């Protein structure tokens, strides 16, 4: 077991963006090693999620584990095939079937793409900006948010984070007024920050899920 795990770490321990395709091989190989008495499947699916999270910077928006859970029959069938010995002289150079591993890799990557498309159809990122800005404009008209609140939300959406020192230039106003707008957005829970000096990040409040991402959560019955 120590030799298997050492070899596993040596081959798959440092996957970069270009080697992400090997995540599928790592998924099966760790299952084949069967390092735990129980819970091997859960550990391996968690590992694959973490590998893709780090290598592709998915942000946890989608997870291959969900896709594998929705295709259990095909998933388990591929894993069984990958456990089989090489089928002929051209089927790899190791003890296990390379053809089966290639087929599982294709299935694994297609599952990843399926989950990306699924989440894209729910979140509709091409329309997300408009939904956020429409909400902000409605809140401004109702005096629930200060003027120019939408500009900050739009900036954070596109940049990923917003430094506080950039606020006055962004809004073309004084630092005091800019901080007043930020404070209102923080109070509404649509912005978050680790400290008073840390960058501002967009927060997807559960209370606004039906407005900002209407396809992500089903409407509650009246």
Domain covering 125-212 in this structure, CATH number: 1.10.10.10
| Alpha-carbon gap, residue 79 to 32, rounded angstroms | 9
Phi and psi at residue 191, to the nearest 5°: -125, 150
CA distances, 173 to each of 133, 136, 150, 183 (Å): 20, 19, 15, 15
Phi-psi sector, 203: left (phi>0), alpha (psi -120 to 50), beta: beta
CA-to-CA distance for 77 and 107, rounded, in angstroms? 11
Instruction: Look up residue 94 and give its two tokens.
Output: 């190791």
3-state secondary structure of 202: strand
pTM above 0.85, yes or no: no
pLDDT in tens, the chain (222 residues): 999 999 999 988 887 778 888 999 999 999 999 999 899 999 999 999 999 998 888 878 899 999 999 999 999 999 999 999 999 999 988 899 999 999 999 999 999 999 999 988 887 878 889 999 999 999 999 999 999 999 999 999 988 899 999 999 999 999 999 999 999 999 999 999 999 889 999 998 888 888 888 876 655 554
Q: How far is CA 99 from the centre of its chain?
A: 30
């Amino acid at each position: 077991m120590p030799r298997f795990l050492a070899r596993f770490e040596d081959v798959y321990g440092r996957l970069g963006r270009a080697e992400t395709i090997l995540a599928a091989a790592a998924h099966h190989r760790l299952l084949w090693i069967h390092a735990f008495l129980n819970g091997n499947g859960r550990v391996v699916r968690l590992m694959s999620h973490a590998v893709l999270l780090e290598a592709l910077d998915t942000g946890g928006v989608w997870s291959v584990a969900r896709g594998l859970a929705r295709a259990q029959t095909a998933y388990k069938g591929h894993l069984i095939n990958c456990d089989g010995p090489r089928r002929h002289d051209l089927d790899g150079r190791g003890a296990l079937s390379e053809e089966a591993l290639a087929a599982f890799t294709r299935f694994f990557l297609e599952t990843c793409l399926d989950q990306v498309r699924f989440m894209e159809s729910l979140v509709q990122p091409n329309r997300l900006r408009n939904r956020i800005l429409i909400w902000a404009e409605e809140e401004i008209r109702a005096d629930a948010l200060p003027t120019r609140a939408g500009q900050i939300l739009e900036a954070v959406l596109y940049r990923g984070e917003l430094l506080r020192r950039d606020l006055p230039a962004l809004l073309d106003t004084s630092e005091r007024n800019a901080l007043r707008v930020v404070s209102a957005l923080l109070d509404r829970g649509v912005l978050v920050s680790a400290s008073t000096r840390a960058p501002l990040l967009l927060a997807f409040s559960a209370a606004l899920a039906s407005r900002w991402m209407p396809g992500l959560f089903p409407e509650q019955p009246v």
